[in-house]
Structure 1
Amino acid sequence: MVQAKSYNTKLLVSCGLLAGISIILTRIFSYTIPIAGFPVLRIGFGDIPVIISGMIFGPIAGALTGGVSDILGFMINPMGGPYIPGLTISATLRGLLPGLIYWAIKNNKIKINYHIINVIFSILMVAGAVYVPLSQDGGISNIALIIYGLIALAFILLPIILGIIIKSEEGLYSFDKILFVVTVCYYLISLLLNTFWLAVAYNKGFLAFLPGRIIAGLVIIPLHSLIIFVLSRWFKYMRIL
């Protein structure tokens, strides 16, 4: 009984600490880029503690970390925008999904080649990123398109190459698995759900906000994956059991 109480206390403290870090990184050390005149694209590192919470402590703890950090963060600093309940749902899922994925990985429920899946995700992101300039009014020169395509391809292939080169000491937190988790979260939550919530909240078309979020993904996905991978060497000190 005493051990169970100690476990719950340590878990709450750990999740609370990660939620606090997420609030600071999101509400203070982040930058909001307006799209179509609305503050809908936030560049920062606030998602990282939430993802880590789910990876280490499980889906429920991750979900609580994400939900609490979003609600309290908005109360502390709304950053000039209205409260959107859908974004709280997304923040909750951002902790829940990594927890579910890592629960499946730990229990050998997922048996896939992460490198191949990451390559497929990368191709989709490159296709979306290349489509963005092509869809702009007035077109784009062939040279600019080639340069843009090479930059987009480099950003996407970088984490794939690193996933092959970098080998972590503990296979559970290898770079390819972390990249897979971050990519799935970005696709499902940032690209789909958050874009939908923002389109509804600001009464704009879904496609009005999507291109900018695709471009941001070229940087956010590899950068967040690298940061989480670097931090993963200290995960063993954060485990409760």
Structure 2
Amino acid sequence: MNIRKIAFIGLFIAIEIVLTRFLSIQTPIVRIGFTFLPIAISGIMFGPLFAGLTAALADFVGIMLFPTGGPFFPGFTISALLTGLIYGLFLYKKPKSFWRISLAVLVITVFVHLGLDTLWLWMLTGKGIIGLLPARIIKSLIMLPIQIITIQVVWKYLSASLGNKFSNEPPRAKAS
């Protein structure tokens, strides 16, 4: 692993912590913000393993530096890890098409946020899953297009400014 990769991962961890702890709207059931962005970009640039590690470390360090009332709960760290893994699996060294980004966000939304995170909240709060889901579904429906468009736009501008150093898309066949 090179110094540039370590620096970027550290930067993504710091950005994720700031976005989560200071620039998100937090309720007991949902969090609205742009915390997905550094993890998605990490997945695009470095792949599933490093994106998962980035997300899990950001969650762990964030809760240790800025506890949010309750004790550390490893379920949310597992969710963060899976989120990074999924972004990396869908977007690393693959075209960053609207449909591919949409599929990655949809899988994360359904299986991680609505599935696992709701399970973790049920375990922590004891509230019924049916009681937790309506607000979480509404939040997910609102955030889904925002996440897709934001990831696409930010990557477009970021890849243009970084040049070919992190453009890990497969070469395109030239038309003859």
TM-score (normalizing by structure 2): 0.86
Shift of 1:82: 3.2
Of 47, 50, 68, the residue aligned with 2:39 is 50
What is the deviation of 1:189? 0.6
Write the distance in 2 (CA, Å) between the matches of 1:32 and 1:208: 18
Query: Would the alpha carbon gap of residues 82 and 210 (structure 1) be closer, same or farther in structure 2, given more than 3 Å must change?
Result: farther
Q: Percent identity?
A: 38
Deviations, residues 3-59 of structure 1 (Å, cap 9, x unaligned): xxxx522111111111111110000000112xxxxx121111112211221122101
Runs of 4+ in 1 over 4 A off after TM superposition: none
- 1:27 matched to 2:12? The reply is no
**Alpha-carbon distance, 1:80 to partner:** 2.9
Residue aligned with 1:86, SS: helix
CA-based RMSD: 1.8
- Contact (CA 8 Å) 2:91, 2:101: kept in 1 or not? no
Q: Counterpart in 1 of 2:117? A: 194
- The code of the aligned residue for 2:68 comes to M
**2:162 aligned with 1:239:** no
Secondary structure at 1:40 match in 2: coil
Distance 2:122 2:159 in 1: 37
Looking at structure 1, the residues matched to 21 and 147 of structure 2 have their Cα atoms a distance apart, in angstroms, of 17
Q: Tell me the CA shift for residue 229 of structure 1.
A: 0.8
Give the structure 2 partner of residue 114 of structure 1.
none
Which stretches in structure 2 are left out of the alignment for 5+ residues? 169-176
- Equivalents in 2 of 1:85, 1:240: separation in Å? 33
Question: Relative to structure 1, is the Cα distance of residues 13 and 226 closer, same or farther in structure 2, using a 3 angstrom cutoff?
Answer: same
Matches within 5 A, 1:198-213: 198-213=121-136
AA aligned opposite 1:68: L
Aligned length: 164
- Residue 78 of structure 1 aligns with which residue? 67
